[in-house]
Chains A and B, each alone.
Chain A
């Protein structure tokens, strides 16, 4: 595929948690893959901590590459999980500034923000990793859809 796949018109972004016996999953919808990665990051942030009152954030550049869009999603989410754990801080949000696909694969470049845990930023779940288990990223009539499961 050449360039970023087109938008599905009129689609609103949303995400929701999906029950799993031991772990936890998320579903997300967005008008395009770029929005889908951002929405998945927001879902991950909400699972991991209450960041609704986070004030002092720091930004980190992110770049991930993969052979296909599902693997890119796995890499994107795990980059966010790994960075948050390495920093010892909570993920607040992530923005995709560039998303490319070519015969060599996919690339996502963007910025994520993190906030230190304090009275305003309370942890929820320790997310160990995003998994490939039942990972689905697909363009449907209702927009770009994602289902992903995290090990917690």
Chain B
């Protein structure tokens, strides 16, 4: 295994304790500055990391406004960095599937219960087994039944509402899902047969890699009044689900990157990395991609809705009661959205790309569900399976500086191979059990790849987002049961 590639240092100017500028002069073709949110501890390992070049590369794309942004969980991706945000004008800007990612509408949803830790501890193993059986996970996971073409079209058009109409949830779930769990720009006609085939038996599956299902406990309230609005209290059991659009979304991205790779020269666009393939927002290729992306996004929302339903049924069977597990919120962190933002003195319509970045709208924004309008959009930031996850709410600073965005997780610090090497001989299942965390996993090697050592500390990452004024931390959640693919 070859080591991680070291990059030449890009000029990086400190602005303040939480902000670093990559000036336009740092790399040829940059149209705007790069702006990275990090403190001293987070920035040091990034200085020779390819992710800073990726921030600079994104700054070369036509029609970009404001800054090419790196969130505090920034790390090396492909094309765009992970933790990257960029906004483009509708008349001169572009859409780039690599700026959304292969796992379209990968996201996180959080359910809350009326259970306490004392209810879960005695049955934690049984609960873990039941969840592991109820939610197919791992490489090649499928449901055992393929949706027919009409059923899949329905899912692709209606998103989470399809699942609710089929009895897998309630209207209350849709009210607290980003976009109501449906993009009405979806055009299933833009999906290839391969994309349909990959997705048709994967609806309701978790997948593998960093996707997970966790039973957690609220172990610290960081903002009690906002927590009360979100229905969170100390000692309460919650369930967090992290997954996306599965093979269907991966294929949509693959198909449209190939289309745009051929089209990019025709539109006279010069890109420093072919994975940044993009087309003007008004072009037929852009309309086709955005229609397909919307359909894949709807598939992802339906997927998380079905998994949430399976979790609810499992809780009902294990605890013998009708624990309804209301949805706190469902956020997307791989998506392009058409949003109105202030740029300079003007309000303008933009296409905001968030790749590994979560929307974080502040209190009062019309895009926030009524229930949360007074506190801000819930922001769900998973950490790693050995430490914690954070629930926050968006702040006005995010709107002013990041097009209403913030970090989507802790962010990796090392490759999977390096994590495996560092943890060779360590029985993580036993170690986590000693810390009170029960794990069920399809493949043991995955645990080392996803271990805490491979990730930044989510509290440090959120600390930067909070220090920069983008997010107010509300609650810390500690894992009790972890299900991974």
CB distance B139 to A124 under 8 Å? yes
Q: A125 to chain B: which residues have CB within 8 Å?
A: 139, 208-209, 416
A126-B138, A129-B251, A152-B209 are known contacts; what are 6 more A-B pairs with Cβ within 8 Å?
Answer: A17-B417, A19-B417, A78-B258, A125-B416, A126-B485, A151-B102
Given contacts A125-B209, A128-B103, A132-B274, contact A21 B142 (CB under 8 A): no
Of all A-B residue pairs in the complex, the 5 with the closest CB atoms, nearest first, are: A133-B78, A123-B139, A132-B274, A126-B208, A19-B415
Given contacts A20-B415, A75-B258, contact A123 B138 (CB under 8 A): yes
CB distance A82 to B2 under 8 Å? no
Report the minimum CB–CB distance from A27 to chain B (whole Å).
7
| Alpha-carbon distance between A71 and B253 when the two chains are bound, in angstroms | 15
Given contacts A19-B415, A85-B198, A86-B247, contact A131 B78 (CB under 8 A): yes
CB under 8 Å from chain B, chain A span 131-152: 131-135, 149, 151-152
| Alpha-carbon distance between A129 and B246 when the two chains are bound, in angstroms | 11
* CB of B151 within 8 Å of the partner chain: no
CB distance A49 to B139 under 8 Å? yes
Mask, B127-170, CB within 8 Å of A = 1, is 00000000000111010000000000000000000000000000
Mask, B459-485, CB within 8 Å of A = 1, is 000000000000000000000000001
A interface residues, Cβ below 8 angstroms from B: 16-24, 27, 48-49, 66-67, 70-71, 74-75, 78, 81-82, 85-86, 88-90, 117, 122-126, 128-135, 149, 151-152
A-B contact pairs, 22 of them (CB 8 A): A16-B2, A19-B418, A20-B76, A21-B4, A27-B2, A49-B139, A66-B258, A71-B258, A74-B258, A78-B258, A82-B194, A86-B198, A123-B139, A128-B103, A129-B250, A131-B79, A131-B98, A133-B79, A133-B98, A135-B274, A149-B78, A151-B102
| Alpha-carbon distance between A123 and B446 when the two chains are bound, in angstroms | 10
Report the minimum CB–CB distance from A148 to chain B (whole Å).
10
Q: B250 to chain A: which residues have CB within 8 Å?
A: 81, 85, 128-129, 151
CB distance B275 to A133 under 8 Å? yes
- B254 CB contact (under 8 Å) in A24, A82, A117, A149: A82
Report the minimum CB–CB distance from A71 to chain B (whole Å).
6
Report the minimum CB–CB distance from B360 to chain A (whole Å).
22
CB distance A124 to B445 under 8 Å? yes
CB distance A117 to B76 under 8 Å? no
CB distance A122 to B414 under 8 Å? no
Q: A130 to chain B: which residues have CB within 8 Å?
A: 254
Q: B138 to chain A: which residues have CB within 8 Å?
A: 123, 126
| Alpha-carbon distance between A71 and B264 when the two chains are bound, in angstroms | 13
